[in-house]
Amino acid sequence: MTLRSNLEPGSTSWAVRRAQWAALGITEADTDKPKIALVNSSSELSVCFTHLDDLAGLVKQAIADAGGLAFEIRTAAPSDFVTSAGKQARYIMPSRDLIVNDIEVAVEGALLDGMICLASCDKTTPAHLMAAGRLNVPTLVVIGGYQSFGSFRGRPVDIDDVYEAVGSVAAGQMAVADLAAMADKAIVGPGVCAGLGTANTMHVLCEALGMSIPGSAPVRAGSSRMEETAKLAGYRIVEMISDDLRPRQIMTTQAFENAVAVDIALGGSINSVRHLQAIAVECGLDIDVFEMLERRAQSIPLLCGVRPNGPHHTEDLERAGGTLGLMKQLESQLYGEVLTVGGCTVAELLAAAKVSDEDVIRPLTAPLDSRPGLCLIRGSLAPAGALVKLAAVPRDRVMFKGPAKVFASEADAIAALGDGGILKGDVVVMPGLGPKGGPGTVFAASFVAALNGAGLAADVAVVTDGELSGLNRGLTVGQVMPEAAEGGPLAFVQEEDEIIIDLDKRAVDLQVTPDELSRRRSSWQPPAHTEIGWLGQYAQLVQSLTQGAVLGARDGPRSSPPAGEPEAGGRRHGKGGDGYGAANV
């Protein structure tokens, strides 16, 4: 096969690379093989990643057995529950784009032929998919899987319980020693948060986009099923390079329609929508994922009740059929002609897919809830939209009206929670925490969790442009657009302003006259950032949330691939359309 990595013999690049690789023990015969980046976003800072190094060894051997040459590439490995300690979690969101650029440097700098990415915590999966769309070399994402939960005082406990228990401590309902004892028992294995947070949501959406081996997600980290799927990926990436099957042929507009449908039916993390938009931008697609969500939510109900949306665990979703099972139930709402990394179409995959437990993955005719799991709402407080995880909002709280309590930071809001400064009926507003306002999206998720732990989630609403967790539940209006730092109305909310949230009408409104809002806006100045280093650079480069908060000045996404790249949709690829379907996994 013709490989871009096969440099011209006698050239400077060829000679100096040969010297480097000979010193590594790479033979001349090896240099004629497909050269594949094994992107390992791993770290000893978090349990999310501790199994990836062993997984990398399995994939590397599979690539070698299939006739390829793998190079392990390390990137940043952010953990939302560890890397969030500094600067009010401002490093978390920017880390996604740091990984994308890190991958570009390694893969494009060395002119490698393809890549396999080992995905784990929240930001790694979208980063890997963004890099795949940007570089458009044959790519497979291997799902790292979820952690097992523990037991505390005779009942199941996971990181979600620990997260919310902080509010019980703040409200004086729980001792710090008890919280410590719970934390020590919450996690009993490697992998991402056990509930349906952003990580597990993005794992499912990665498969729904067609970018992982069918049957990959969700999966328990360290399980034999995860390892077997990873080996299949190692073999398959060599075939994809031979077939020249690239991400932009897979991640088409129709693939994003499918992923959005799955996200709605799953009740996925609010954060997933901005990640999907960012991936679409990097794929060169001129599409509006938020509009897709708004439109598709009118006809797709909630089909799953995985924590925090309901009583089931992520392992129940895996057992019941996982992503393929959910897509099977949604088949009438999906584009079947979309290609997957297996070389077959979505329709061909779903022909063999099964749901083993319809209590966990409901059919469209008997949904868990007639409402969508996710929805976009608009109004005078969010002219460009805001996101609500309807799956986590009680039905008796679809209408909420109350006075605004405005906080400049999550820490201030949590302190007020402990001091009795937040009462039933209040609308807690946390502006200026978005990507531009941080800079780097600032945590609001811990306050929302604490609100649950304090027993106030049913009686207090939250509105913010800050970082939320897929594990959050309650009436939370997130990712308000435009964000406050862009001069969005959220910047002008004052204490005791009345806010009305009407989820039936998909509306969130600030009860302030246009004249008063104009008066407040006339004296507003955008925040002056003094950050240096990575956050300072991020502040200069980050784009609006409506563009997925990608980096760089853009006149708009490219509407077609670069010269010499195959157009999206192309011919069918793979061995007989078999596509490594669920039966093979």
CATH number at residue 52: 3.40.50.2300
* Tens of pLDDT, residues 16-29: 999 999 999 999 99
Looking at the fold, whether 233 and 106 belong to one and the same domain comes out as yes
pLDDT for 262: 98
Q: Percent helix, strand and coil across the chain, each rounded to 5?
A: 40, 15, 45
For residue 388, the SS3 value is: strand
Residue 202 lies in a domain: yes
Residue 236 lies in a domain: yes
The reply to whether omega before 218 is within 30° of 0 (cis) is yes
Looking at the fold, whether 318 and 434 belong to one and the same domain comes out as no
Tell me if 312 sits within 8 A of 318, measured CB to CB: no
Looking at the fold, whether 322 and 386 belong to one and the same domain comes out as no
Looking at the fold, whether 275 and 411 belong to one and the same domain comes out as no
Looking at the fold, whether 337 and 432 belong to one and the same domain comes out as no
Looking at the fold, whether 130 and 225 belong to one and the same domain comes out as yes
Question: 522, 546, 580: which is the final residue of a domain?
Answer: 522
pLDDT for 562: 42
| Rounded Cα–Cα distance for residues 40 and 29 (Å) | 25
Selection from 142, 304, 131 nearest residue 215 by Cα: 142
Altogether, the residues listed in the chain come to a count of 585
Looking at the fold, whether 306 and 424 belong to one and the same domain comes out as no
Looking at the fold, whether 328 and 473 belong to one and the same domain comes out as no
Question: 296, 318, 352: which is the final residue of a domain?
Answer: 352
Looking at the fold, whether 252 and 399 belong to one and the same domain comes out as no
Looking at the fold, whether 343 and 388 belong to one and the same domain comes out as no
**469 a catalytic residue:** yes
Distances (CA, A) of 313 to 172, 308, 358, 470: 29, 9, 14, 14
Catalytic residue (one of 5, 469, 518, 522): 469
* Tens of pLDDT, residues 39-97: 999 999 999 999 999 999 999 999 999 999 999 999 999 999 899 899 988 999 999 99
Q: How far is CA 261 from the centre of its chain?
A: 15
pLDDT for 354: 96
Residue with the two structure tokens 């100096």:
16
pLDDT for 553: 64
Tell me if 368 sits within 8 A of 303, measured CB to CB: yes
Residue 382 lies in a domain: yes
pLDDT for 118: 98
| Rounded Cα–Cα distance for residues 169 and 516 (Å) | 40
Residue 339 lies in a domain: yes
**Which domain covers residue 435, as residue numbers?**
375-522
pLDDT for 563: 37
Looking at the fold, whether 73 and 222 belong to one and the same domain comes out as yes
* Tens of pLDDT, residues 513-556: 999 999 999 999 988 888 999 999 999 999 999 999 999 865 44
Looking at the fold, whether 309 and 440 belong to one and the same domain comes out as no
Tell me if 334 sits within 8 A of 327, measured CB to CB: yes
Question: 522, 552, 568: which is the final residue of a domain?
Answer: 522
pLDDT for 391: 92
Residue 265 lies in a domain: yes
Residue 530 lies in a domain: no
CATH number at residue 421: 3.50.30.80
Q: Considering Cα of 356, then 357, then 361, then 363, what sign does the dihedral take?
A: positive
Which residue positions in the chain have pLDDT lower than 50?
555-585
Residue 218 lies in a domain: yes
pTM comes to 0.93
Residue 546 lies in a domain: no
Selection from 244, 257, 145, 259 nearest residue 211 by Cα: 259
Distances (CA, A) of 195 to 98, 187, 307: 26, 12, 5
Per the structure, the count of domains in the chain is 2
Amino acid of residue 344:
C
